[in-house]
Chains A and B, each alone.
Chain A
Amino acid sequence: MSHHTPWQAHRAIRLHRRFIDPWLLLLLLLLVSYGLLVLYSAGGPVLVKKQAVRLALGFAVMLVLAQIRPERIAQFTPWLYGLTVILLIAVLLVGDASKGAQRWLHIGIRFQPSELAKLTVPLIVAWYLRHRRLPPTWRDTLVAFVLLLVPAALVVVEPDLGTAILVAAAGVFVLFLAGLPWRFMLASLLGGVAAAPILWHFLADYQKRRVLTLLNPESDPLNAGWNIIQSKIAIGSGGLMGKGWLQGTQTQLDFLPEHSTDFILSVLAEEFGFVGVATLMFLYLLILFRSFQIAMAARDSFSRLIAGALTLTFFVYLFINAGMISGLLPVVGVPLPLVSYGGTSIITLMAAFGIILSVYNHKKLIKQ
């Protein structure tokens, strides 16, 4: 680009800044359309309409965030982090209790501050490491852990161990991408396994039950095991090609619980079969590939760390949900990203893609 006149260069920058990665946009549109199709079967036109409105809002948030330069996002990050911590403390003091946990906050709209934490935790770690030498020193690693553990601990207290782990994981992913030594991660993993029995002691009864249900769902087929058994029946009975759209008996006759939200992948598996599941997984894989491509092409540490970490977080939601509904993992209430019916999570996810697209829009151009 060195042969461009300044004016031309400026114009090129402007064009790129307003541009949205067509590939990622197309893949996301395909994904949400596929999701709406399944949601129509699972929940009917009313839910589809509400979901479409949320998705439209989510896309708007994404497009707006995509125009903000990563440096500006980094500038805002400490404030956002502070706000998140305050909201998490507020939810403990004045939040709504539901199913034995305080997760919701009313401020004009009802929302879960822990959702915000899923974004701000990787942001703050990426922000902290952005000018530091990578791989991080022990001291930097320690500071990063403190930064990610404060919100995670507040979420644990709600109590919502599942979300807390996801929040913490998002921060750890930044450290991983920043080059945290493998041996450190391996040691942490082994430590975690060793600590599991102690951790078990601190789990709430319903959490213990979920883990036990995973190990043997048939042991309690009427209560905790019911969901997972019905989900496996729905998936397995779909076979290779599925029972057909709107034809899934497990879904349509209500044997499958929570079929619009957490168990929507079971609906897809029942009605579209293994082929439908493999197609969805391929779509997700393409999104993940494209996002990593963007991260790798990013111009600075902050951009690539945050883009990579958000991509990994997105993958973890997918993996946990798919593992949970197929009986590989305990039932932890993680929605299928961008497909499950539900409010806050869609906005958070689209905001994450907004940040990733912002990284795309501001890749390496400024450097010259």
Chain B
Amino acid sequence: MARRQLKNPHQETVLFQSRSISALMIIILALGLVNGRFFYLQIIHHEDLKARSEANRIKTTPLPPARGLIYDRNGILLADNLPTYRLEVVPEKVNHLQQQLDELAQFIPLDTTDEEKIQQQLRNKKAFKPVVIKDRLNEAEVAAFAVRRHRFPGFRTVPYLVRYYPYGALFSHVIGYVGRINENDLKTLDHARYAGTRYVGKLGVEKFYEARLHGVPGEMKTEINAQGRLLKVLQQKPAVNGEDLTLSLDVRLQQAAAEAFRTNPETNIGAAIALDPRNGEILAMLSQPGFDPNLFVNGISHSQYQALIQSPAKPLFNRTIKARYEPGSTIKPYMLLAGLYYGVIEPGFRMFSKGYFQLPGQKRKYHDWKRGGHGEVDSVAALAQSVNTFFYSLAVKLGIDRIHDFLRYFGFGQKTGIDIPGESTGLLPSRAWKKATRGASWYPGETVITGIGQGYMIATPIQMAHSLGILASRGLITQPHVLKDKKPPVVKQLPLAIKPEYWDLAHQGMVAVVNGKKGTARAIASPDYLIAGKTGTSQVYGKKEENIYEKSTDIPRHLKNHALFVAFAPADDPSIAVLVVAEHGASGSRAAAPVAKAIIQRYMALYRPEYLNKSGEQASAESRKPQP
């Protein structure tokens, strides 16, 4: 105690009071600071923090529209939406994802493809966005999950509609398919319209009419808590479903074409198109082989995809609009018309086929397909027997410029504009084209072979079918299409003054191809109605002059020529025009014509029954009635 200095009570009281007042000043300042902070948050930043609080509690769920269904012309469903469930997980809400997945796999089997897809999604996902564990759960799996869901927080089953194509491969190339929206799609799609949608048309009609099939999404505003649990629905705007589309295709004709290819002893690969020449409606459109579009809807597995792209038959290749073939002898009716139109031959013109043709002053021989030639033929016989020499000389008389100009009116060398994406242009050669692309002038010998549809000329099946329609309808230019729309089809008249007798002659020649004694396709003649047709071959490789008559059976399949056949029926009132390409079928009459016949036969039974089981006279009388 002695060490202690004396206390001065008064001074200490004053000191304490001064310190207390300082402390109170600090307190007032500090509480002022705190209040200022609250003022800053609650008054100055009220609006944006209020918005964030609303964003916390209000979850806007897009309500995806149901995709429009696709029907054939008779109302048969070709593309359906099946209700199903998928299993999703929000990985942020799961502590041991892999362990949970392993447990899950005990009652919902996951194969390596599923695992792959999950890992892929996990690699590039956004925070709190769900990852799909498995699509298209079956009922047992949905039930098995439902009873165990308490053990799997963060996991949920989500109902959705999945596209289903009941006819599988039959319409693979026409209708195409929808597939999962990928990063490339996201670059072009309107994100607002596709919120909540996982599929987009990738091919065929599904792609071409995406805008009409898709619809407009709705929106549901719900209140959620921090765990993401839905508490109540605040506001709901229903989705506007996509438009249902009716196609001009007929399932039965498509099946007839597929069946004919399947049972074709020559080849199963090729393309067939049937259209109505009066309005451009495509009735059947088949590229063989096809593929099951359902495989692509939920993402095709690597092995399945490899199998498809490595198959030599190229099932993913849409031959009907993309494949490029020489038209071969199917060009001859057009050449005949051109000859008559430009007056280089008269309707009564006859010539003698001695087996080959030579340009004046040249040694090279251009052969008939028949050794020794066909003898004296008129234009009908020239078509019926496909007399090459007739058309060699006709082509030389016409010259390449007139051939080019004339064929261009029939749509060769141009896209038809069919409502399926991915069409090729084909090639209609001309002097200007050769100069521009090859840097060389046109040789007379090239004109000769153009007369029988060989050389540079290239056409797609849809082009050939389109020009055949113009030929069958005697000059009606239609827009080939697969959508049977409400508005009437656009039909234009060919702007060439081709006399009716010229059309008659071309038609008679084609009728003789099927019905004449020496016709190249007489095997497919029908007793009930007249088919007009023309065979053709599209060269796969050029034959040397010495083995030009070599039997096609002696060479390997993949080197055989493609077989072509064009036909329309009934010849006196055509309402169907058919083009068939049988790849490596060698013979138009044997490999392609039977396929065309099968389609026409089925068509006639379904749409022109008045022709069947009746006498020819009656048939031709009734055929002038308008089509129902």
Contact = CB atoms under 8 A, between A and B. Distances in A.
A132 to B, nearest CB: 6
Nearest to B48: A236
Interface stretch (A16-24, A74-82, A270-278): A270-278
Contacts of A327: 37
A239 interface: yes
A323 B37 contact: yes
A230 B49 CA distance: 10
A215 to B, nearest CB: 16
Contacts of B30: 315, 319
> Chain B interface mostly helix, strand, loop or mixed?
helix
> Which of B31, B35, B53, B92 has the most C-beta atoms of chain A within 10 angstroms of its own C-beta?
B53
A255 B42 contact: no
Contacts of B27: 285, 288, 312, 315
A129 B53 CA distance: 52
A235 B46 CA distance: 9
Interface in A229-268: 230, 232-240, 249-250, 253-255
A237 B38 CA distance: 11
Given A179-B15, A274-B38, A308-B16, A292 B223 contact: no
B23 A133 contact: no
Interface string B31-60: 101110111011101101110111011000
Given A179-B19, A292-B24, A328 B4 contact: no
Contacts of A288: 24, 27
B496 interface: no
A281 B34 contact: yes
Interface string A318-330: 1100110011100
A301 B15 CA distance: 11
A277 B42 contact: yes
Most chain A CB neighbours (cut-off 10 Å) among B5, B31, B35, B225: B31
Contact of B19 (A176, A277, A328): A176
B226 interface: yes
B437 interface: no
B7 A253 contact: no
B415 to A, nearest CB: 53
A147 interface: no
B161 interface: no
A249 B20 contact: no
A240 to B, nearest CB: 6
A326 B38 contact: yes
A204 interface: no
A322 B36 CA distance: 11
A135 interface: yes
A109 B421 CA distance: 79
Contacts of A255: 53, 56-57, 225-226
B224 interface: yes
Contacts of B7: 131-134, 301
Contacts of A234: 53
B105 interface: no
Interface string A324-342: 0011100000000000000
Interface in B307-364: none
B46 A253 contact: no
A186 interface: no
Contact of B49 (A178, A233, A295, A305): A233
B554 interface: no
A133 B6 contact: yes
Contacts of B606: none
A239 B23 contact: no
Interface residues of B, number: 45
Given A234-B53, A269-B38, A274-B39, A254 B8 contact: no
B31 A253 contact: no
B23 A312 contact: yes
Contact of B24 (A233, A289, A304): A289
Contacts of B15: 134-135, 179
B20 A253 contact: no
Contact of B38 (A177, A222, A277, A315): A277
A2 to B, nearest CB: 20
B39 A281 contact: no
Contacts of A301: 7, 12
Contact of B226 (A253, A277, A304): A253
Given A236-B49, A236-B50, A277-B35, A296 B20 contact: yes
Interface in B563-578: none
B24 to A, nearest CB: 6
A284 interface: yes
Interface string A284-322: 110011001001100001001100100010010011001
B16 A177 contact: yes
A67 B516 CA distance: 132
B224 to A, nearest CB: 7
A83 to B, nearest CB: 26
A322 B34 CA distance: 7
Nearest to A234: B53
Contact of B50 (A237, A278, A323): A237
A132 B9 CA distance: 11
Given A176-B23, A177-B16, A233-B52, A239 B43 contact: yes
B227 interface: yes
B28 interface: yes
Given A237-B49, A255-B57, A322-B34, A269 B42 contact: yes
A87 to B, nearest CB: 30
Contacts of B225: 253-255
B302 to A, nearest CB: 34
Interface in B190-236: 223-227, 231
B17 interface: yes
Given A233-B49, A292-B23, A250 B56 contact: yes
Contacts of A177: 16, 19-20, 23
Nearest to A315: B27
B127 interface: yes
Interface in B74-130: 92, 127
A43 to B, nearest CB: 15
Which of B1, B54, B226, B227 has its CB near the most chain A CB atoms (within 10 A)? B226
Contacts of B127: 222
A240 B43 contact: yes
A235 B49 contact: yes
A269 B41 CA distance: 10
B41 A235 contact: yes
Contacts of B92: 222
A264 to B, nearest CB: 14
B226 A132 contact: no
B224 A240 contact: no
B53 to A, nearest CB: 4
Contacts of A133: 4-8
Contact of A284 (B12, B17, B31): B31
Contacts of A304: 16
Contacts of B223: 249, 253
Given A301-B7, A308-B16, 16 more contacts: A132-B4, A232-B49, A240-B46, A249-B223, A253-B56, A253-B225, A253-B231, A254-B225, A254-B227, A274-B39, A281-B34, A301-B12, A308-B19, A312-B23, A322-B34, A322-B37
16 contacts: A132-B4, A133-B7, A177-B23, A232-B41, A233-B56, A237-B50, A249-B54, A249-B223, A250-B57, A253-B56, A253-B231, A254-B227, A277-B35, A277-B42, A288-B27, A323-B34
Closest 10 CB pairs of A and B: A236-B49, A237-B53, A254-B226, A253-B225, A133-B5, A274-B42, A236-B41, A237-B50, A239-B46, A322-B34
Interface of A: 131-135, 137, 176-179, 222, 230, 232-240, 249-250, 253-255, 269, 273-274, 277-278, 281, 284-285, 288-289, 292, 295-296, 301, 304-305, 308, 312, 315, 318-319, 322-323, 326-328
Interface of B: 1, 4-8, 12, 15-17, 19-20, 23-24, 27-28, 30-31, 33-35, 37-39, 41-43, 45-46, 48-50, 52-54, 56-57, 92, 127, 223-227, 231
